[in-house]
Structure 1
Amino acid sequence: MNTPYRCRPAQILSHVVLLFLAFLFLFPFYVMIVTSIRSPQELFVREFRWLPQQFTGLQYYIQAVTDIPALTFLKNGVIVSGGILFVQLLTAIPCAYALAKFQFRGRDLLFAVVLFSLTVPIQAPALPLFLGLSAIGAIDTYFAAMAPFFLSVFAIFLFRQTFRSYPDEIIQAARMDGMSEWAILWTIVVPGCLPSIAAFSVFSVVAHWNDLYWPMVVIRSTELMTPPLGLAVFADSESGANYGALMAMAAILTAPLMVGFLLAQRHFIRGITMTGVK
């Protein structure tokens, strides 16, 4: 006879805490969606209503696409975040592989420099970077928005920890078969470490999609504004009173990140939990 499953008080308490934290994290998104479909008269009432009394439909979403160039900001976010991630993977993966699998003089010192670089914020070298980009006439371009982030020390650290746990026997067997180090890296090691690459991809895309500081420094024209910068610029005295359109615009600009994370959730969690496990 099967014994009925009983939940322990500690398990019940942990689930209650997790549900409460989930509510805290999801509540702002709920307010954003509901505000984007409320009528203007309901925005400044004293009592909070979970559902709109008057449904405006897609009015604010159409306005966000027509009056505010939300789709242009969306395109710029994809170009900037995707371009940064592509170059970061091309540069960080070989560097991490060399630090993990090659024996050479100064390797530990180089890794110490990588760890030290993790503590340097983008604000520290912002002025020299701006002056350098201005000297070559690259201000207000996609290149200016992407260039400071082409080399990610966090990616080097993360991939190095992952590559260290990759079996040396497989690499040695590939070398005995005559494969080059470049072929071993991209055809054997990288496919076996896709969860960590997916985890870093989520970190990178979210960080640079939501970045406001650096685009505010180097971007001037509306046609090149990224999602946070575009939302900040249009939330002024002229269009700021239209909270419904701004919330609709925020929902449009947030949706790709949420969809992308849901699609990569399994690889993301696997990559985080398996990084550094030997």
Structure 2
Amino acid sequence: MVSRLNVHQLLRHVILASASLIYLFPFLWMFLTSFKTQTDIFSAELSILPTVWTLENYREALTRVPMLRYLGNGLIVCLGIFAMQVIFCVPCAYALAKGRFRGRDGLFKAIVLALMIPYAITAIPLYIAFYKIGLLNSYAALIIPFVSSAFGIFLLRQHFVGVPDDLINAARLDGIGEYRIVWKIMLPTAIPAISAFFIFSFVTHWNDYMWPLLVITDPALATPPLGIIFFRTEEVGSVQFGPLMAAAVLITSPLIAVFLFAQRKFIEGMTLAGMKG
């Protein structure tokens, strides 16, 4: 019996390790290619490891275009979006979880329905609206469309449902208003869910390419994905793959850091949200 269990565990670990390698291989190839010379990259012989290790690609990635500026823009946009989403989503989620008003269930169903609508459908109307009010080519154009997040409201609402009503009623008996209940009592209980939402929000908007491409024409406001296109050599119509891979590594590194930093809270938040209805 014990040996059978050991065989099953070993088989499970082999399958998981194999699947992990399949997913990690493109990132490993990108990372190693960033240290290869251009000659090594276009060599007819397939080689995973660089023949000659070089940091020239990273120097070129940081000097050919203002990559640090693009990374800074990405941080400003992603953190600005997340801060506004928390301000908007936490009260909405609290109202849907603990409020008693007519139409609450219907409103929640509408939010769930909104999860199924890709934001690309609303891109043209939003673009026209921002053009009319003169907000194109600004940080506001990159942040404002994503302040309201149906996924954030859904995730936090699922968490707030599990918070005991006695805690809220006790706070009301002590004379604490609804505003303070939301931010002083409910918000601290939702740290795992907010951490999970932070990872989803940060990764989504850090990788967003379509919307910044539509609303930004000033290179000084470009986000990291837009910075990648500047590695194309327009005169000869070719791409310098070494600096391109180095830039991709620089752009991907903050995502890995964010996930590793909030990994435990992310798993906890998603587990708790899935268990509560």
TM over 0.5: yes
Give the 5 Å matches for 1:1-278. Answer: 7-56=5-54, 58-238=55-235, 240-278=238-276
Distance 1:229 1:171, change over 3 A: same
State the 1:187 CA deviation: 1.2
For 1:148 and 1:157, how far apart are their aligned partners in 2? 18
How far off its partner does 1:277 sit? 2.6
- Provide, for residues 211-242 of structure 1, a one-character-per-residue CA deviation record: whole Å limited to 9, x for no partner: 11111111111111111111134335458432
Cα 1:90/1:7, change in 2 over 3 Å: same
Q: For 2:121, what is the secondary structure of its paired residue?
A: coil
Q: Tell me, in whole angstroms, the C-alpha distance in 2 between the residues paired with 1:86 and 1:35.
A: 36
Tell me if the contact between 1:165 and 1:276 (Cα under 8 Å) persists in the aligned partners. Answer: no
The TM-score, its normalising length taken from structure 1, stands at 0.94
Give yes or no for contact 1:164–1:276 (8 Å, CA) kept in 2. Answer: no
Show CA shifts across 1:139-190 (max 9, x none).
Answer: 1111111121110011111111100001111111111111111111111111
Counterpart amino acid of residue 246 in structure 2: A
Secondary structure of the structure 2 residue equivalent to 1:275: helix
Counting aligned pairs with the same residue, the percent is: 44
Quote the offset at 1:50 in angstroms. 2.7
Consecutive unaligned residues of structure 1, counting only runs of 5 or more, are: none
The answer to whether the 8 Å contact 2:58/2:243 transfers is yes
Q: Which runs of 5+ in 2 are unaligned?
A: none
Helix, strand or coil: the match of 1:151?
Answer: coil
Work out the number of aligned pairs and report it: 275
Counterpart residue identity of residue 183, structure 1 = R
SS in 2 for 1:211: coil
- Counterpart-to-counterpart distance in 1, 2:180 and 2:251: 38
Which structure shows the bigger proportion of residues in helix conformation? 2
CA–CA separation in structure 1 for the residues paired with 2:59 and 2:69: 14
Q: Please give the alpha-carbon distance, in whole angstroms, between the structure 1 residues aligned to 2:186 and 2:86.
A: 14
- Structure-2-length-normalised TM-score: 0.94
User: What amino acid does structure 1 have at the position aligned with 2:28?
Assistant: Y
- In 1, are the aligned partners of 2:233 and 2:240 still within 8 Å (CA)? no
Q: In the aligned structure 1, how far is the partner of 2:106 from the partner of 2:239?
A: 55
Contact 2:111 2:150 in 1 (8 A): yes
Asked if structure 2 preserves the Cα contact closer than 8 Å seen for 1:64 and 1:248, the reply is: yes
TM-superposition CA deviations, 1:98-137 (whole Å, max 9, x none): 0100111111111111111112211211111111100111
